A = this chain, B = another copy of it.
């Protein structure tokens, strides 16, 4: 079992859901990513919070085996606060507030003891900051990066610089199309590979995820649930679960990557069942095992030989 480094945003989210409003729940890409990964492997968290961030929240990370010594507390301001409203069917959301606060000047410092972490998850932050992290780590085995339309549109040059040093890129389907300029997702993935990453995982929300590595393609469904409560953080959870599992196996074979995509999908399916991190943080290993098995059933069909036999 290896450990992984998770760098990204640590935030408060105020969520207006059809089921009600939830003030300043724990959020941010590194929060979801590190809690998801912590189900599989020891996590080293790097991020910044403000003077208003409660010790109890930091304690919560620690209780999940997350090393928070890289979580900077900047007493000059408040924690990043995002507020948004979801549509009735949870299919879209509108940002009402994005107070970056101390995150505006975040400059990730990787503690000396974290620099040789073999697995690195660059959460969805400015690509220049992602590159800053890579300048500080020493020969990681696998660098996974997430990004979003905001950077693809506005910080293309910086993003391309970062991508050149990324091994595995996680993007959603719209971002894959935007970044590659190609509509067909297979061609889009091939295009993204020319930018650097040798592995590309395209997240498709309710339609699952697709893994591309060389000529290998693996298609994973989403867990079919009628009970989505809050989609916030599902993508970050997917990436965290994915890399957490890879770190736990300390293996980069395609078979491991395939299982990692399923574990990431499984954790994302739990994440959306609760508000914020509520369900994700509480999920038991036995539940993950059960859901992993459910993914197997979901895609199972007999081979021609089995039918003939």
Asked if A206 lies at the interface with its beta carbon under 8 angstroms from chain B, I say: yes
- Chain B nearest Cβ from A87, distance in angstroms: 9
Give the nearest-CB partner of A228 in chain B. B184
- Whether the Cβ atoms of A219 and B224 lie closer than 8 Å is yes
Q: Mark A198-236, 1 if CB is under 8 A from B, else 0.
A: 000000101110100000011111001110100000000
- Whether the Cβ atoms of B186 and A298 lie closer than 8 Å is no
Give the nearest-CB partner of A184 in chain B. B226
- Chain B nearest Cβ from A291, distance in angstroms: 11
For A295, list chain B residues within 8 Å (CB): 301
Asked if A148 lies at the interface with its beta carbon under 8 angstroms from chain B, I say: no
- Whether the Cβ atoms of B226 and A190 lie closer than 8 Å is yes
- Whether the Cβ atoms of A255 and B221 lie closer than 8 Å is no
- Whether the Cβ atoms of B224 and A258 lie closer than 8 Å is no
- Whether the Cβ atoms of A186 and B225 lie closer than 8 Å is yes
For A258, list chain B residues within 8 Å (CB): 300-302
For A139, list chain B residues within 8 Å (CB): none
A residues in contact (CB < 8 Å) with B:
89-91, 183-187, 190, 204, 206-208, 210, 217-221, 224-226, 228, 255, 258-259, 261-262, 289, 292-293, 295-296, 298-304, 307
Copies in the complex: 2
- Whether the Cβ atoms of A298 and B217 lie closer than 8 Å is yes
Partner of A298, one of B219, B224, B255: B219
A259-B302, A303-B293, A304-B292 known; A221-B219 Cβ under 8 A: yes
Partner of A218, one of B91, B289, B299: B299
- Whether the Cβ atoms of B301 and A224 lie closer than 8 Å is no
Partner of A302, one of B255, B299, B303: B255
- Whether the Cβ atoms of A219 and B208 lie closer than 8 Å is yes
- Whether the Cβ atoms of B89 and A184 lie closer than 8 Å is yes
Distance, CA A187 to CA B292, complexed state (A) = 22
Distance, CA A48 to CA B300, complexed state (A) = 40
**Max chain B Cβ within 10 angstroms of own Cβ: one of A258, A298, A307:** A298
- Whether the Cβ atoms of B298 and A293 lie closer than 8 Å is no
A185-B224, A221-B219, A226-B186 known; A301-B296 Cβ under 8 A: yes
For A307, list chain B residues within 8 Å (CB): 259
